[in-house]
Structure 1
Amino acid sequence: MAITFTGSTAVVTGAGAGIGAVVAARLAARGADLLLVARRGDRLTALADRLQTEHEITASTVAADLATSEGRQHVLDTVRERDLRVGTLVNNAGFGTYGDVVDTDPDRLEQMIALNVGALTTLTRGMLPHLLAVGSGAVVNVASTAALQPVPHMAAYGASKAFVLSLTEALSVELRGSGVHAIALCPGSTRTEFFDVVGSEEPVVGRFQTADQVVDTLFRALDRRRPPSMVVSGTANRLLGAATRVLPRRAVLAATARAMAG
């Protein structure tokens, strides 16, 4: 059965720009109401206003820092207080750091893990009862091709995305028969603000994709009768991902180290 987006609300984190903003627009085009979440409320308001006008849906916003427990609770409280019928959750908020673990700012490292792992897990748990009550929707967790193998010089980031992938694949089994699907989206290098936050394009591997190309991959997967638990965006990325599963672990690690060192 195809996923139905009309008649329910999609919660999208990291919706202010990049993949999150494009996903929000696609969901609105399919009739979903929206709750857009990000730290910067000004961007969210502009996007919500535009999507309401273009698609005649209801779009509301929550400005929250999801790296904090207070920010996550604020989102969950908003859903409860507004009695939203949440049918889709898109956990897109996240960021990365580049450099050896020993050289990484400890506070920045903690914030990254809190956002990439903590917020995603907390919101997934908090939203699941709503999704199961609707019975037709999806939990979309944005992982990365960095989840497919250890990533020297982005070790903690890659590990955080490996957590996202593992959690999502296990969740997809737990949700069988419920009408709710869990899918991990694994983009490679994408033209968003990600590398601005990282502070370097040194960790770029392969060709850039656009956010639209990545979201095209996601919706092709969501439109399948049985959506997969994981999808990699980009042919070259899919081939590299397949290679990591068949090559010796030591060879994969050495190749990844060379690529990340530029």
Structure 2
Amino acid sequence: MSDLNNTNFIKAVRFIYDHIDQPIALADIAKSVGISVSSLKRLFMEATNQSPGAFIRRIRLEFSFRSLQSRKDSILEVALSSGFEDQSAFARRFKETFGYSPREARKKLNIVSELESILLDEPDIVELTDLPIQSVTERGLYFEAAPKAFNILKCKLATNELSDDFSGIFIGIGHDNPHEGEVKEDQVRFTAGITLIERDLGIEHVTLVGGRYARFRYFGKPNNLGLAYHYIYGKWLETSPSKIDKTKPAFMAFDDFPDPIKEQNILIHVPLIAS
């Protein structure tokens, strides 16, 4: 994706989040970005493999999941605030997306989606040593913070450190889940890092603490990694005897410098409590 398209995509996503509780027309999104509706549709397919409408519906349903868990509003109130005309239509769409009814969702601890997540092979359980990295952390919407952090990191690197001959590893850490309500959607933290760099890049030095990790293999676009995390923290966690260590962050290891829409091999490392 070109820098211009990436900027347009981030502008479109920010418009959607800013108006998520209102009716959103594709023409309004396109106007806010300064492109045509047809260009907007191509942009979202390139970035997420989804239409703009499907992207909006998924975001609204994930917000409704959080509202249901808070128990502040009735199911009907959540349905209406999510853009549905009645409770039955909302319940039907909700079950199609998450695999269970809104009433059942009040009892769930995680967003578990059979249709909106992806299936991953069983992970390898590995023991990792401490991993020193140099990194940049940015805040914003997830689709905004991640490319912003990686772009700043990229500016610090020499040409040979971005070539196929480079033996280091690019690291990504998403610190927050915006749908849990603990942080604002536009304040999500994302860290972009790199290993095996001897020279000081003039950025933060941190260490990823070693220990026991579940290593999942994912192939796809970084922009769709959220679907993999839905599976890991949903269905896999519910059925696995392993317990996640919440004192450490999960992190991603990329075999190439990350491109939001380029399909890549990505290793997702989830910290586990030692048995």
**TM-score bracket, shorter-length normalisation:** under 0.3
Q: TM-score, normalised by structure 2?
A: 0.23
Query: Which protein has the bigger helix share?
Result: 1
Larger radius of gyration: 2
Which structure's residues are more often strand, by fraction?
2
TM-score normalized by the length of structure 1: 0.24
